[in-house]
Every structure is written in C-alpha cells, then in structure tokens.
Amino acid sequence: MLIKNGIIVTEDGRFEGGLRIRDGKITAVGTELEPEGEEEVLDAEGAYILPGGVDVHTHIDMPAGECMTSDDYLTGTRAAVMGGTTTVMDFPEYDEGETLMDGLNCWRKKSEGRAYCDYGFHMTVSGWDEGMKEQLVRMKEQGITSFKAYTAYQDGIGVYDEQLFGILQEMKELDTLLCVHCENGDVLRRLQRQLREENASDIRNHPKSRPNLTEKEAVSRVIDFAAMADVPVYIVHVSTKEAAEVIRQAKQRGQRVYAETCPQYLLLDESLYDLPGFESAKYVLSPPLRTKADQEALWKALADGTIDAVSTDHCSFRFHGQKDLGKEDFTRIPNGTPGIETRMELMLEYGSRRGIPLEKLVSLLCTEPARLFGLHPVKGTIRAGGDADLVIVRGDAPHRISAGTLCQDVDYTPFEGFEVTYQIQDVFVKGIQAKRKGEWVMEKPEGRFLFCR
C-alpha cells in the first residue's frame, strides 16, 4: 500500500510526501513515491501522517482493592488504537507470596491473543529481599527491561526506602530502568486517617491528604537514591510545579532523570473536587489534580525538556458500580481515570494551542517514550525499516470529546466536552488498517508482546 500526499511529521521535522507499507513494515518514505502496479493507494491530502502513539503508562485488567479496572486487553487496546496509540506498556503485578514470574505469566495470559496493538511490560516490584535478584534476572531474560516501584501504599504494593534502594542497586547490575510512583506514603496515610475521621464522605479530602509536597519530597528522595545507586530513573505521572522543579535541577546537574506527565495534570485542575454530589469521584486519582499554577509549570516543563513523555496512566473504573464503592469513605473510591483513547487528540490540540510544535508533540507522545524503553526505532517514528504503526490525523475537524463516542469500556471521560480540531481518521497497526475514516475496521487482535532489549 502507498499512502501519499500527506504531511509526514517526525521529531526531526515535517515534509509533504508519502510512504509505502509492505508486510507490516514501512519500506520507503519520500516526496515522490508513485504507486507500483496495482498497489492500493490512500490519498492523505491535507492530513498529517504521524507515527503511532506510544503510551508507556497503562493499567489494563488490573485488580485494585475491591474491583478490577473496567478495561481488559480487548477493550483497552482497541480504545488505544481508536485514539491513535499503537503501542502500550502496562504494569503486571503479583500477589503476596507469588514471584515476579507468576505476575508476568498472569499478564501474558490476560493479553495473549487479546490485544489490538503491540504491548510491553514494566514489571512491578512490590517488595525486596536478596532472593529477588535472581527473579529480576529471570525477568530480563523474558524481555522485561523496565520495572516499577511505588513509594506509597507500603501496606500493599509499595516499598520502603531500604527496599527501594536495593531495587535501584539491582537496576545498575542489570542495566534496566526503574519507573517510580512518587508520593510520601507515610504522610499521606496519616493525613488520610485524620481526614477520614473528620468527614469520610468528603471527596475533597482526597487531594487534601496528598498535598504537593508529598510528591515533591518523594521525587527528590528517589532522585537522590538514583544518584547514590548511579542509575537512571523514570518518574511517572508528575503533577506538581515543585516536583517539576526538582527534576529540572537534577537534569541541569547532569543526572539521568526522565519524567512523564499525563493529559489530566495538564488540562484538569483541583476545582473538579468541588462538583455537586458524588461527581468529583470521577477525578479521584493519585496523585490528585492540582492547581492552575501547577498546570502552567507542567506545560513549561514539557516545552523546555524537563518532562520527556506524556502518557495516560489509563486506569478505568466505572462511575456507576465501581467509583461508588467509596460513597461513604473517600479512601475506598478506586483511584484512577481513563485516558488511553483521548491522549493523542487532546495533546495535539492543546499542545498546539500552547505553541508547542507538532514535531515536539510527536517526540513526547511517540518517539521519546519508545526510545526510553528500548522500542525505538522500530516503534515511535516513521522510517524505512520501522513497523508500519501510523496515524493519519486531520487538523481541521472540530468536534467535542464525549464518553458517548468513545469505545473505552467506562461510563465517563474526565475530558467530557473538551473541544478539539485534531481528529484521528485512519490508524495502521503493523501495516493492518485498524481505523478507516473514523470507523473501526480491524478484524482480530493481532498485537504481540514486545520483548524489550
């Protein structure tokens, strides 16, 4: 197939031209490609051709306290592809008493034959003893080269400082990368307890129990631990101006610190915790939404390179039937919000409105995340030899984001009513057309597990 007459955008620039797809790969990219024989041609006149999006922070088919995320691999990856994302990286977990391999096997089973796009894993490490060194080696042999630790939730999935430092030291041994959820678990647990005693049903107690400094303190600590262990580190879902500043300073010192933020922290703010009734539960996620001043700082951090990637932290729970488990107690509201399907359109729109060039947005949404996790240049860019993961997007198609038109398996979107002019029209996953003129056309889930190196 030949896609022609589009504006091809990569992190390096843009030009009018086209590309050829054969056997799932891009075989040629150029300005004057002509159809060969009976070759099928897609005319992308007036549209941008971008690399398929790479979302390196999703929670699909994940248990969370009393429920499971509403999206499984079939619905979650279909939603990703509909929204222009053609690679996801998810976080397998394991139960107490199980091994990392048990967790990996569980996630391989959830995803095998049920993903519409390729997927990789960052393995969660929710404890540490010396015996785990061996388990990490096994993980690397299985194609897992990035891991995840939580500095909160120590009564469950989180780790204490000594454990965190042990994991970082092992990252050095294995030449692998640790992603860290940064909040001070002790402080927020105590604040949560106190606020629950005062008024358990007040959702505003969710952000109150997680002030900006709980994130900043943890980010600062994790960066220092990484320096002492002499390893790079990836900070997930940065939400505050204070944390962004700590990361900026570390980068300025030359430390290998990488960071992501998410559309919800760039586009939504804490006023959403003042909605009537139980409506604010839609926005209960951790870290919580912050102030407009935090948003401004995050946009600046995107533009100046402090933040390297925009992922979603897609973690979908239904408003009716799941979020309402916490009606009487804000600490029981399942934490997380959906975003896998809306990331690309929202970021292209609101990034452009902020004056961020499309090339930089492609870097944040596709290329840099692929590079950080060893998937580039097969994923995350447009080049001969790369996977034909492609998105054709118009920049002149005004519409509103609405849960009613999204296919992610959840009964709301936190971005309801957001106006966008960028629209994902066509999507190719390894050369197979998944979306055509806005409609889903992919027959079966052909996504594969990505063995990361």
Angle at 103 between CA 102 and CA 108, to 5 degrees: 95
Phi (first) and psi of residue 17, to 5 degrees: 175, -155
Q: Which of residues 56-115 bind ligand URP (CB under 6 A)?
A: 59
Residue 50's nearest CA partner among 372, 364, 404 is 364
181 binds Zn ion (CB under 5 A): yes
315 binds ligand URP (CB under 6 A): yes
Q: Taking a C-beta distance cutoff of 8 angstroms, is the pair 258, 234 a contact?
A: yes
Q: Which is nearer to ligand URP, 240 or 286 (CB)?
A: 286
219 binds ligand URP (CB under 6 A): no
List of residues 6+ apart from 89 with CB closer than 8 A: 54, 55, 56, 57, 58, 119, 120, 121, 122, 146, 369, 373
What percent of the chain is helix, strand and coil (3-state, nearest 5)?
A: 35, 20, 45
151 binds ligand URP (CB under 6 A): no
For residue 111, the partner it binds in ligand URP, Zn ion, none, with Cβ less than 5 to 8 A by kind, is none
Residue 334 CB, shortest distance to Zn ion, in Å, is 12
264 binds ligand URP (CB under 6 A): no
For residue 429, the partner it binds in ligand URP, Zn ion, none, with Cβ less than 5 to 8 A by kind, is none
Q: Which residue is nearest to ligand URP (CB)?
A: 335
Q: Given the rule CB under 5 A, which of 81-89, 103-111, 173-181, 389-397 is the region that contacts Zn ion?
A: 173-181
What SS3 class is residue 304? coil
Q: Given the rule CB under 5 A, which of 115-123, 177-185, 202-210, 415-423 is the region that contacts Zn ion?
A: 177-185
Q: In whole angstroms, what is the distance from residue 395 CA to residue 437 CA? A: 14
Among 313, 341, 387, 389, binds Zn ion (CB under 5 A): 313
Q: In whole angstroms, what is the distance from residue 7 CA to residue 18 CA? A: 8
Residue 181 CB, shortest distance to ligand URP, in Å, is 5
- Report the C-alpha dihedral over residues 2, 405, 55, 178, rounded to 10 degrees: -170
210 binds Zn ion (CB under 5 A): no
335 binds ligand URP (CB under 6 A): yes
Q: Which amino acid is at 349?
A: E
Q: Given the rule CB under 5 A, which of 114-122, 180-188, 208-216, 262-270 is the region that contacts Zn ion?
A: 180-188
Residue 257 CB, shortest distance to Zn ion, in Å, is 17
Q: With CB under 5 A as the rule, give the number of residues binding Zn ion.
A: 2
Q: In whole angstroms, what is the distance from residue 421 CA to residue 82 CA? A: 16
Residue 360 CB, shortest distance to Zn ion, in Å, is 24
Q: In whole angstroms, what is the distance from residue 116 CA to residue 368 CA? A: 22
Q: In whole angstroms, what is the distance from residue 237 CA to residue 180 CA? A: 9
Q: Taking a C-beta distance cutoff of 8 angstroms, is the pair 205, 270 a contact?
A: no
What SS3 class is residue 19? strand
Q: Which of residues 156-195 bind ligand URP (CB under 6 A)?
A: 181
Q: With CB under 6 A as the rule, give the number of residues binding ligand URP.
A: 8
286 binds ligand URP (CB under 6 A): yes
Residue 199 CB, shortest distance to Zn ion, in Å, is 25
Residue 184 CB, shortest distance to ligand URP, in Å, is 14
Q: Which is nearer to ligand URP, 317 or 418 (CB)?
A: 317
Residue 365 CB, shortest distance to ligand URP, in Å, is 19
User: How many CB atoms lie under 10 A from the CB of residue 321?
Assistant: 11
Q: Which residues are at the interface with Zn ion (CB under 5 A)?
A: 181, 313
